[in-house]
Structure 1
Amino acid sequence: MIALLAPDALGGLVPGRIPVRAILFDKSDAANWALGWHQDRTIAVRKRADVAGFGPWSVKTGMPHVEPPLAIIERMLTIRVHLDPVDADNAPLLIAPGSHRLGRIAEPEIDSVVAQCGAHACLAERGDAWLYAMPILHASAAAGMPRRRRVLQIDFSADRLPAPLEWLGI
């Protein structure tokens, strides 16, 4: 059973942090994508504002995103709640354990970092949750045997943003 919690209750899942973004990933035979190895480096904000140390800017699904200073990303945590089972054939999240401790990883270095850290598939049953440090290198293949794979991802931050920037929130 999945229970919906108020945003302030979600903060109790990761003490000292508040939920700042929620995304529902819905992979299926009709929507079966792959993502190469990468770090999540952007945050969703309510509106664009020029603040020193924040940039570049982008727009994703109509929402402004910005790359903050790495220190903010390093203190963020992500919870992925699995609404469907994810086995090895259903495009599990792949992580490079320990890569979150290496700071910002340049694109040309990603393959060697993954080779050094190894790759781990995050298999899950319905209702399982994974918690990880936001800057971890991660990837996802297209599903080998496509079927529904819904994951609710909630990002948490311990930081307030400098005014006039504000977290988008959930």
Structure 2
Amino acid sequence: MNLQNHKNLIQENGFTVINNIFSDTEIEEISKAIQNIDTSKETFRKSEDLFAIRQILKEVPHVKDLIFNDNLKTIIEEIFGEKYFAVKSIYFDKPERSNWYVAYHQDLTISVDKKIDLENFGPWTTKQNQFAVQPPLDILENIFTIRIHLDETDENNGALKVVRKSHSKGIYRPETIDWNVETENICNVEKGGIMIMKPLLLHGSNRTTNGKKRRVIHIEFSDKELPEVLNWSERMN
């Protein structure tokens, strides 16, 4: 793996795809661990179009050792840096007949342990006792997201579409995208591959049209401590 090349691509374009990070056996074990859990908790969301588990690293502790294999650890250390830790984790399952699509957006919030008045932090949202807030820009700019693909994903089953280089333009409202200037990229990822992206990269996805499922584990990493009494709610070294 030429990781320096991937590091440059993330800096320049806001994303990169690295395939062959997990073997078929590893993917099978991760899938099994996820299938065997109690889905009645409030961190789960289930509909015909989407099954999601928030805080998957906490909810399925067994999955942690499977996810952080040697390949992934090397990528985190060499591309992000040794001080990075996980701050958010979600599992998404777009079923075979899913009509779920996501309009272009940036990931602008972080998960924290409480709601307090802090300068430059806001707006706030609270879902099922989980607090999310938009932090200052420098915190968002520092985050890396890894998306682990448990299925092969292309434009026919909801692969991410992204606007290259949009991560370096601060807060970028999707309705202001000028398609004469910007280009859309579809990020095809093989089963067992990963996509790394910056949360400020404009991204979205289309509906599934080929009857194939798309399961993704989304993990965000930061190396920044939050101010004063605020803590990352899912912090995990």
Superposition TM-score tier, normalisation by shorter sequence: 0.7 to 0.9
Cα distance in structure 1, aligned partners of 2:132 and 2:156: 32
Larger of the two Rg values belongs to structure: 2
Are the aligned partners of 1:32 and 1:146 in contact in 2 as well (CA < 8 Å)? Answer: no
Sequence identity (%): 33
How many residue pairs align between the two structures? 166
- The question of 1:133 aligning with 2:189 is answered no
- The question of 1:92 aligning with 2:159 is answered yes
- The question of 1:4 aligning with 2:4 is answered no
Segments of 5+ residues of structure 2 without an aligned counterpart are: 1-25, 28-65
Q: Runs of 4 or more off by more than 4 Å in structure 1? A: none
| Greater RCO (CA < 8 Å, at least 6 residues apart) | 1
Cα distance in structure 2, aligned partners of 1:44 and 1:31: 27
Cα distance in structure 1, aligned partners of 2:205 and 2:181: 18
What amino acid is the match of 1:25?
F
Cα distance in structure 1, aligned partners of 2:116 and 2:90: 23
1:118 paired residue number: 183
Coordinate RMSD, CA, aligned: 2.1
Q: CA deviation at 1:162?
A: 0.7
Q: CA deviation at 1:159?
A: 0.9
Structure 1's 150 and 61: CA in aligned 2 closer, same or farther, altered over 3 A? farther
The 3-state SS of whatever aligns with 1:117 is: coil
Q: CA deviation at 1:115?
A: 4.5
TM-score normalised over the length of structure 1: 0.88
- Which structure carries more helix by proportion? 2
Cα distance in structure 1, aligned partners of 2:129 and 2:209: 30
Cα distance in structure 1, aligned partners of 2:106 and 2:180: 16
- The question of 1:81 aligning with 2:140 is answered no
- The question of 1:49 aligning with 2:116 is answered yes
The 10-residue stretch of structure 1 (16-25 or 114-123) with the greater mean CA deviation from structure 2 = 114-123
The 10-residue stretch of structure 1 (121-130 or 13-22) with the greater mean CA deviation from structure 2 = 13-22
TM-score normalised over the length of structure 2: 0.64
Q: What are the superposed Cα offsets for residues 46-104 of structure 1, whole Å, 9 maximum, x if unpaired?
A: 12122111001012454210000111101111010101110221110111110001111
